[in-house]
Structure 1
């Protein structure tokens, strides 16, 4: 077993920084406060003083307005606490808007481009002190499922951001397949121990990591922001419902049947009358099963349209509307069952009873669609099976009491969905 030399690392807070004002030469002030910087040092600078120097100070009492302006999307909200994604891609409390360590009646916004800020500080230190250092701009983040805050890197220059161990082996010979270390965040968190929240020391020097300091500025901290298509936790409580979009074009990528079953688990959590469970879901996981159903439905539909006097051209056009089901690599047929329903002598009450079950089935299908979106799958709910229920029951060998309520095409979107036209909730409200 070979051993790797353990680096000797020191972290030293930099005292003596003045109160930063908009327009201050931050690199010049840092050079005066830390004249002993050496090649290979990493300077970790709290984003607050960067924001102040860059004039990212907003006067006024409304922190809420500032948060709204800095928010690209709200991920979660509880009371007045907002977790938001900024336009930088950071997901953090209050979109990074901070009312601490700033004059009363003002709030601090994050730097416009923290990586650029880090590059400018690095360039200024090289000019003034002639040293090759790395620079990290840090800010405080909370973390899902963990109490407490820690500093992470939101900007960087001249520091290797990640250490990728994939494809290598540990000292016991075990292959590493998923280990990528966020070096920038580790350095930022360690440096905060020498800065502190109340000590008035916004800068720390980390020495002993010269092998991580690069000649080029490098990609910065933006490479630590996970792309949306790789983010398993993309949707927060505030936008999970809006994640559902109707998708009509699918890629050839296979659908994970486990993901569909998890969506069914969400579907059957919907409310239903009389403590019933009116949902049944038929999963068509094989191509022959899907083709048999869709061919039979097409034949039944064509026969009905011909009997209604539609032209062959009109029939062909209408049948093409069902192509979304044929192109999907996976189909789900939701069915309603009336088990547990009440029977009345009054037919109007019986009709209302059925309507309650229809509504409950729709709620279940909505849950299914939303969870499919959370799983990264696209879907389209098509009503076609409702027009030939006997045919569907026969082809799928379903009990007579199962009532097909459309079909859901499922698959991976071939392209991002089109932008949804904005809808104002006020247009759909009646208040008494």
Structure 2
């Protein structure tokens, strides 16, 4: 048996593509000699030209803005964005090269549909069953240089899912999914070239990657990771801003357990906050067992009820207030941030001593904010509640804390049971005074 092999070659003879042209008919007119099982690799640029995606634009940046759904990362003038097609790429795929002045070329509006039209057209014209991949050039995370990838496909198994199988040594394959359409696109780019005027390539010898019409409906969209599966959804600065803006108070949690490692990573972020005199004023007590949480919250509830009764509140009013505090009781995980003032200065002057304590309080608050933002980055919901500050002696007694540890509230942690309600955007200018 001969070893597996395939051929790939660029298709010569295609004329300059113009708006309204039928790509399939242009390919057929070159007498390409296609056979069943061939795969055509078609550069997106000629598809865009045929589909009248050449548009006037005052400048390329405006066109990129119009095609951008979400900025993923920005460095200087370079933007990596998610575009209208759901693709994450530089400049939203907007191309200003080899186009008339004052115009730009956008990607096909629906690359999968474009591939279907070319495939169907070749079947009607030449009577062959082929696969079609629409390609475009991408940079890649972690790797230098560009390569062609599939942005549209029809009649091609875009992914080869090997999970559930075994390798040559009998080891189970649990994570291997091959991006077949991207591999085909890269192979075609080796012969098409960027400036050779050869926008179409043919691959022959891999009929197993050409799918039936039912499989063709999947298209290259299947290659795009969902937001839930994308571990690298944002650039560094964008990820920080996203975590900060997405940090919302969560008051209802699911029963899903919390990963203790995620909380410890959040603590590691918390203790990078600034602090006075090179001190470390933060301590985090993690209540990971239901028994420890119940013991603390029961003691705090009893102390709160006693305070409310001393305030003359009615039993009905007390019951309502206690119910409102159930956000801590309903959380599957609690953390109690504490402040310690080791290393603080004592001046013997009430004004300066008060300012000294305030410095430590601010530093502790910065640590708590870091903690909450880091939890959001771990996709955990949280709610900071101040209640432990009103019964510090009780908290210290129940948790057996040193006398110099001041509880600074409690943080309920868990997986949000529902999406937070939309809140109106705040105008940062309203909080700024210029001098």
* Alignment partner of 2:101 out of 104, 129, 148: 104
Other structure's SS at 1:413 match: coil
- Work out whether 1:361 is the aligned partner of 2:358: no
- Work out whether 1:215 is the aligned partner of 2:217: no
Aligned counterpart, 1:248? 251
Deviation at 1:236, TM superposition (A): 3.0
- Could you tell which deviates more after superposition, 272-281 or 25-34? 25-34
Q: What are the residue-to-residue correspondences of 1:376-415 with 2, within 5 Å?
A: 376-415=379-418
Aligned counterpart, 1:187? 184
**Aligned pairs, how many?**
429
In structure 2, stretches of 5+ residues that fail to align are: none
Deviation at 1:5, TM superposition (A): 7.3
Aligned counterpart, 2:230? 231
Deviation at 1:178, TM superposition (A): 0.9
Cα distance in structure 1, aligned partners of 2:300 and 2:407 = 12
Kindly provide the CA deviation profile for residues 159-182 of structure 1, in whole angstroms up to 9, marking residues without a partner as x: 112111112111111111111111
- Could you tell which deviates more after superposition, 152-161 or 68-77? 68-77
Pick closer, same or farther for the CA change 1:192–1:335 going to 2, 3 Å.
same
Cα distance in structure 2, aligned partners of 1:179 and 1:90 = 22
Kindly provide the CA deviation profile for residues 116-138 of structure 1, in whole angstroms up to 9, marking residues without a partner as x: 11111211121111111111111
Cα distance in structure 2, aligned partners of 1:27 and 1:359 = 67
Other structure's SS at 1:23 match: coil
For the 8 Å contact 2:11–2:201, the answer to whether it is kept is: yes
* Alignment partner of 1:306 out of 304, 309, 312: 309
Pick closer, same or farther for the CA change 1:199–1:130 going to 2, 3 Å.
same
Aligned counterpart, 1:337? 340
Other structure's SS at 1:73 match: strand
Deviation at 1:6, TM superposition (A): 4.4
Give me the CA root mean square deviation: 1.9
Aligned counterpart, 2:273? 270
- Work out whether 1:136 is the aligned partner of 2:133: yes
For the 8 Å contact 1:132–1:215, the answer to whether it is kept is: no
Aligned counterpart, 1:51? 48
- Could you tell which deviates more after superposition, 279-288 or 405-414? 405-414
Aligned counterpart, 1:71? 68
- Work out whether 1:371 is the aligned partner of 2:368: no
For the 8 Å contact 2:134–2:153, the answer to whether it is kept is: yes
Other structure's SS at 2:411 match: strand
Pick closer, same or farther for the CA change 1:19–1:337 going to 2, 3 Å.
farther
Kindly provide the CA deviation profile for residues 220-275 of structure 1, in whole angstroms up to 9, marking residues without a partner as x: 11112222222222343313433323222222111111111111111111222222
Q: What are the residue-to-residue correspondences of 1:307-326 with 2, within 5 Å?
A: 307-326=310-329
Other structure's SS at 2:362 match: helix
Deviation at 1:284, TM superposition (A): 0.8
Pick closer, same or farther for the CA change 1:301–1:188 going to 2, 3 Å.
same
Cα distance in structure 1, aligned partners of 2:135 and 2:423 = 36
- Work out whether 1:60 is the aligned partner of 2:57: yes
Aligned counterpart, 1:291? 294
- Work out whether 1:424 is the aligned partner of 2:421: no
Cα distance in structure 1, aligned partners of 2:352 and 2:84 = 53
The normalised TM-score by structure 2 is: 0.93
Aligned counterpart, 1:174? 171
Pick closer, same or farther for the CA change 1:166–1:318 going to 2, 3 Å.
same
Q: What are the residue-to-residue correspondences of 1:91-170 with 2, within 5 Å?
A: 91-170=88-167
